Amino acid sequence: MSNKYIGQATRRVDGRAKVTGQAKYAAEFQTEDLAYGVVVSSTIAKGKITAIDTSEALALEGVIQVFTHNNVSGLAWFDKSYKDQDSPPGSPFRPLNGPEIKFSQQPIALVVAETFELARYAATLVKVDYETEGPVEVEIRDHLDKAFDPGKGKQGYKKPKNRGNFAKEFAKSDVRFETSYYHGAEHHNPMEMHASTVIYEADDHLTIYDKTQGVFNSQNYVTGIFGLSKKRVRIVSPFVGGAFGSGLRPQYQLFMATLAALELKRSVRVTLTRQQMFSFGHRPATLQKLSLGASQDGTLQALNHAAYSETSRFENYTETIVDWSGAMYKCDNVSYDYKLIAGDLYTPLDMRAPGAATGVYAIECAMDELAYKLRMDPVELRLKNYTEEDANQGKPYSSKELKACFQQGAEKFGWSKRTPEPRSMRDGKTLIGWGMATGMWDAMFVPSRAKAFLSADGKLTVSSGTSDIGTGTYTIMTQIAAETLGMPMEQVTFKLGDSSLPLAYLEGGSATAASVGNAVRITCENIREKLLKLLSRTSYAPLADRPQEDLEFADGKIRLKADPEICISYSDILKQAGENYLEDTSTALPNMLKQMDYARNTHSAVFVEVRVDEDFGTVRVSRMVSAIAGGKILNPKTARSQILGGMVWGISKALEEESQVDSNFGRFMNHNYAEYHIPVNADIPAEMEVIFVEENDDVVNPMGIKGLGEIGVVGVAPAIVNAIFHATGKRIHELPVTLDKIIMEDLVVE
C-alpha cells in the first residue's frame, strides 16, 4: 500500500507559514476600530489599595477608560469561585475583585486607549496608594515549620501509600545516607507573550484570538465569568509561540480584554509585557529530602522521599514529585512525605514535566551518590534495582524498554570507557565528567473528538479543537489522516485551535498525539467505510461486488490489491453516487478495562559529558545522548526536535534557570530575558544524539502512541549534575549549578 506516512520523517506542514510570517499569533489579528489595553501591576506583594487615582490618565485625549476594582462589578464569577480545567483546589484569583493585594505585580487596573503607545503611557499616570502588610513570606526554606499536608490536590492528586517498614530496614541497611536537594522557582518564558485580541460583534458576540493550550478551557472561562452562552464566544488559537504549560490556565489578559470589549462595545487587545509574564504561574520552588539504604551488592532496602513545595495563599497547587522514586526502582520499604508551604506569590503552574522534572532530579542524583558509596557503576546500580512493575500501583508496565535505552545509550556514548574515580578524566586544566540518569513520564490518553470531511474534489479536511504549541500537531495529524484514508498528504488539511471544532482536551501532559491521533484515525476509518458503501451505488462494476479484503485505499482511490490499475478515485465515487461530500465526527475513548491492570509510562536514559574549567569552575556540556522508549514514533523528525528541545531545557535547568525573588518585596527581580538566563547557541553541544528505542504497546491505545513532550527533559538535569561530580568530586545539591557553587571550598568532596 502506498501513502505510508506514519513513522516517516516528514517536514512540518505549517513550516512555510511560520518562516514566511503567514502564521498569525494572538496579538497579530487585526480589525477595524481596535482599542488597546495595558495592564497596571501592583508594586507591593501583600496589603490593600487605599486609593487609586485615574484622573490624569483619563484626561489624555484618546484614553477611553481605566478599569479598576472601583468600577468593575456584577460579574458572574464574583458571586462564585469559577474554576478552569487546570485549576488546583482553592479559590482562584479574580482580577479587579477588590482592593486586596495577594502577590507582587498583581493586575490592579487596565488602561484602554486608541493606540498601544498611548495606553502604555497613560498606564504610568495611574496613581495608587497602598497599605502594606508584613512580613512577606516567599522563601520556603525559611518556613518549613508552616508546612501542611495538601490531602487531595490538583486533579485528584493523592500521595502514594507507604509500603513495608522504612525506618526498620533503613536502620539495618549496610550502606545508608540522607541528603537534600533544592531548586528555586522557574518561569516558562515562551517567546510569544500572552495576549488576547477580542473582536466585538453585535449582541455581545465575541471572537477571541487567545494564546492558549486549550481553546475550550478559555471558552468555558469567559462564559463562566461573564455569564455568556457558548454560542456567543468563539476562541481561536491557530498558532502558539511556545507555552510549556503557561497556556494551560487562562491568564488574566484574557479577562481584561474581554471585560473591556463587553463594556466598551468594541474590539480590544491586551498584551502582557515580558515583566508581567513573571506575574502568573511558575515551577514551584521545592526542597526534597532523600534517604536511601542498600545492601553491599546494591539492592535497595529502604527509600524515603519527602518534598516541601511552594503554593499560594489562595490555592493548593500539587505535583507528583515524590511518586517517581518508588515507581522507578524495586524497593519493598518505601515511605513518602509531601507538604506544601503557602507564600505571598501567585499559584505555581504546570511547567514541562511538572513534578517529574523535580522529583526525578532528586532520586537520580541520590542514586548516583549511592552508586559511588557502593563503588558501583551507576548503570549497574539501576539495573540491579530494575523493576517491571510500578509498585506504587501494584501494576506491571504496559511496556518498558528501559533496559534497551541503557544498552543503546551507553553504547552510543561510549560509557564503557569511563574511569569511575572523580577527577580522573581531564584535558589539561579542563576536568571531564561523565554522568547519566533515568527519566520517566506518564503515557496518557484522554477522550478526544475529530471530524473528517471528504469533498467531491477529492480533498480531505480533518479537524479537532486541539492546539499546536510548536510540537508538530498539525503535521502528525495530517500524516495519520493521510495514511488511514490512503491519500497523498498534499490533499489533506488538518485544522485545529478553534472552539467551533470538535472537542479536545488541553494540549498538555504529552497526551495530544495519542488522544487526538486516535480520534483522527477513527473518523478517517469511518470515512473509508462510507466510501465502500457508496461504491456499491456506482457504475464501476470491476470493484462494486468485490469483498473488502480484496480492496485497498491508496492514492485517493479504492483499488484492487491484485491489480492496482483497477481502481476508482474517491472523487468519482462521490460524483457517481450523487454526493457532494462525506463527513464523520468520532470520539476516541481510552479502553479502561484494558488499561486498568497496567501502569503506562515513557522511559529514557540520558548520558552526558561535561567539561569543567579547574580554575574558574565554568561548566560546558560537550556531549549528550538521550535514548527514549516512547512507544510508536509518528514522525522521527518532529519527535527528535521534541527531545532535542527537552535536552536543551535540561541544560538550562541544571546550569542556568533561576527566578530570583526578593524576600522583602516578594518580587521576582530578574523578570526579563537579560537576567533570567536561558541557553544560547554557544551553550549547546554540537554532539546531541537522540535514539528512539523500538517499543510496541497495544495497551496504551490502539496506535501504541505514548507522547514525547515531557520525557525529553526528565533526567537531563540530574545527568548533568552527576557528570559535574564525576569531573570535580563535588556534590552540589542546589540548582542551578553555577560556577560560584563549584568553587566554594565547603562543598563535600567524596
The string of pLDDT tens digits covering residues 700-712 is 999 999 999 999 9
Same domain, 675 and 739: yes
Would you say residue 684 has pLDDT above 60?
A: yes
User: Is pLDDT larger for residue 746 or for residue 47?
Assistant: 47
**Inside any domain, residue 519:** yes
Which three three-digit cell numbers place residue 284? Answer: 514551584
Mean pLDDT of 406-411: 98
Q: Which residue has the cell 553491599?
A: 296
Q: What is the pLDDT of residue 78?
A: 62
Q: What is the pLDDT of residue 747?
A: 45
**Inside any domain, residue 15:** no
524, 555, 589 - which closes a domain: 589
**Inside any domain, residue 8:** no
239 in Cβ contact with 472 (< 8 Å): no
Within 10 Å of residue 408's Cβ, how many Cβ atoms?
20
Beta bridge partners of 631: 705
**Inside any domain, residue 376:** no
- Per-residue pLDDT band for 544 (boundaries 50, 70, 90) equals confident
**Inside any domain, residue 368:** no
Q: What is the pLDDT of residues 1-35, one digit of tens each?
A: 468 999 999 999 999 999 999 999 999 999 999 99
Same domain, 437 and 524: no
Which phi and psi angles does 464 have, rounded to 5°? -160, 145
Same domain, 533 and 641: no
Same domain, 128 and 141: no
252, 278, 304 - which closes a domain: 278
Would you say residue 491 has pLDDT above 90?
A: yes
Residues designated as active site: 710
Same domain, 295 and 268: no
**Angle at CA of residue 323, ends 318 and 325, nearest 5°:** 140
Which three three-digit cell numbers place residue 196? Answer: 488576547
Residue 672 maps to which CATH number? 3.30.365.10
Q: Coil, strand, or helix at residue 257?
A: helix
**Inside any domain, residue 411:** yes
Domain span at 36: 31-134+188-278
Q: What does 661-724 look like in DSSP terms, one character per residue?
A: EETTTTEES--STTTS----GGGS-SEEEEEE-----SSS-TT-B---TTTTTTTHHHHHHHHH
589, 610, 635 - which closes a domain: 589
When divided into structural domains, the chain yields a total of 4
Same domain, 208 and 348: no
Mean pLDDT of 257-265: 97
- Per-residue pLDDT band for 536 (boundaries 50, 70, 90) equals confident
Q: What is the pLDDT of residue 355?
A: 96
Q: What is the pLDDT of residues 380-390, one digit of tens each?
A: 999 999 999 99
Same domain, 546 and 662: no
Q: What is the pLDDT of residue 85?
A: 85
